[in-house]
Amino acid sequence: MRNLDIATLRSLQAVAEYGAVTRAAEALNMTQSAMSMQMKRLEEVFGQPLLLKQGRGVVLSDFGEELLAEARKMVAMNDSIVARFTGVSPKGRLRVGISSDWLFERVAQAVRAFRQSNPDIELVIDYARSSDLRAQMKRGEHDLILVTEFEAPPGATHLAKVDIVWAGAVGGEAWTQRPLPIANTTTCAYHPVGILELDKAGIDWTLVAGQGGHDTWHVLAVADLGVTIKLRGVCLSGLENIEHGGALPPLPPTWMNVYFADGPARAVAAEFTGYLRHAISEISAMAA
């Protein structure tokens, strides 16, 4: 029977969170070669591949994901035992800004899993438009932000590339009307993109009368008073993707990006992102 090394399991966790061996090694003050050697040793112990190349980074294999779930338990237990018998209890605070596009079930589950594994971390979550979140982060109000953008700019940690689609009430007919009624707030990042594509396609449109936030426009769309735009693969109550057969113009894909602030919470922010990466990968798989 071979013994597992907690430090190696912690390294596996870091690789999953950062999506790259180099960045994970830097976070744990290790060399890249030492980190790679630890991953190789784990693969030798189990006779299974752990990492798969993806773009300029890596992702965990299916086996790696299963091992990670157990590794997190062992690392958390190790830290709990050390804290109990040394009297040193790690504490911290993580300020997270989330755009409304991210407020769906799988992300909520990821937040819950993070809290269960990190009970000593105070998690403060605010949501706002992506543009507002970027401005707030520059003012030092967040440790990380989760935004949706139509590009993959330098400095961003890219979790997924996901299509956006026209959506309407289940069994609705609003999408057949002309001018096309739009139930989408003008402050939404998707709104100008959708309008641009409609104008290019020569489709007349009108904005449904209504005031309020994201929930108001959701209700209008569910009531079949207009169509809206959402991420493919994200289920919203009362709405379905519109199978329009080309009657509506295609929409460009969007990037789900994370930005980190420099500071003492960066390592915790990276760990939190690891949980999000897993949730978003499931969304991407459903959207494929």
41 close to 3: Cβ distance less than 8 angstroms: no
In 3D, which of 212, 204, 163, 148 has the Cα closest to residue 184? 212
User: Quick check: 44 pLDDT over 80?
Assistant: yes
Same domain, 85 and 114: no
**CATH code for position 11:** 1.10.10.10
What is d(CA 287, CA 284) in angstroms, rounded to the nearest whole number? Answer: 5
**Cα 169 from Cα 228, distance rounded (Å):** 9
Q: What is the pLDDT of residues 241-250, one digit of tens each?
A: 999 999 999 9
State the pLDDT at residue 42: 93
On the CB side of 235, CA atoms within 13 Å amount to 5
- pLDDT, tens only, 267-288: 888 889 888 887 777 666 665 5
pLDDT in tens, 132-156: 888 888 888 889 999 888 887 878 8
8 A C-beta contact, residue 142 and residue 96: yes
CA distance 199 to 151: 21
My answer on whether 42 and 59 are in the same domain is yes
Could you tell me if 42 and 125 lie in one domain? no
Q: Per-residue pLDDT averaged across 247-256, rounded?
A: 92
Residue 213 has pLDDT above 60, yes or no: no
More confident residue, 87 or 227: 227
Together in a domain, 79 and 102: no
- 226 in the same domain as 148: yes
Give pLDDT tens digits for 169-199: 999 999 999 999 999 877 778 889 999 999 9
- CATH assignment at residue 111: 3.40.190.290
Helix, strand or coil for residue 239? strand
Same domain, yes or no: 71 and 110: no
Domain co-membership, 118 together with 238: yes
Q: Do 118 and 221 belong to one domain?
A: yes
At 89, list the tokens: 């209890």
Contact 16, 274 (CB under 8 A): yes
DSSP 1-48: -PPPPHHHHHHHHHHHHHSSHHHHHHHTT--HHHHHHHHHHHHHHHTS
Query: Can you give the pLDDT at residue 9?
Result: 92
- DSSP string of 53-70, one letter each residue: EETTEEEE-HHHHHHHHH
In Å, the largest CA–CA distance within the chain is 70
Of 75-79, 101-105, 202-206, 226-230, which range is least confident?
101-105
Residue 100, pLDDT > 80, answer no
Asked whether 225 and 179 are in contact (CB, 8 A), the reply is no
Considering the domain architecture, whether residues 242 and 121 belong to the same structural domain is answered as yes
123 and 55 in a common domain? no
Question: Domain end: 59, 90, 121, which one?
Answer: 90
Residue, of 214 and 71, whose pLDDT is higher: 71
Q: How confident is the model at residue 233 (pLDDT cuts 50, 70, 90)?
A: confident
26 and 149 in a common domain: no
Residue 87 gets the label, from left (phi > 0), alpha (psi -120 to 50) or beta, of left
Residue closest to 150 by CA, chosen among 162, 142, 159: 162
Domain boundary, last residue among 90, 117, 147: 90
Among 56, 90, 124, where does a domain finish? 90
Contacts of residue 181, defined as CB under 8 A and 6 or more positions apart, other chains included, come to 174, 205, 206, 207, 208, 225, 226, 227
Residue 235 is predicted with a pLDDT of 77
Across 205-232, b (16+ Cβ under 10 Å) vs e yields beebeeeeebeebbebbbebbbbbbbbb
Q: Are residues 162 and 268 in the same domain?
A: yes
| pLDDT given at position 214 | 60
**What pLDDT is stored for residue 189 in this prediction?**
81
Distance CA 194, CA 249 (A): 8
The number of distinct structural domains making up the chain is: 2
- H helical segments located in the chain: 6-18, 21-27, 32-46, 62-86, 105-117, 130-138, 190-200, 214-222, 266-287
Domain enclosing residue 20, as ranges = 1-90
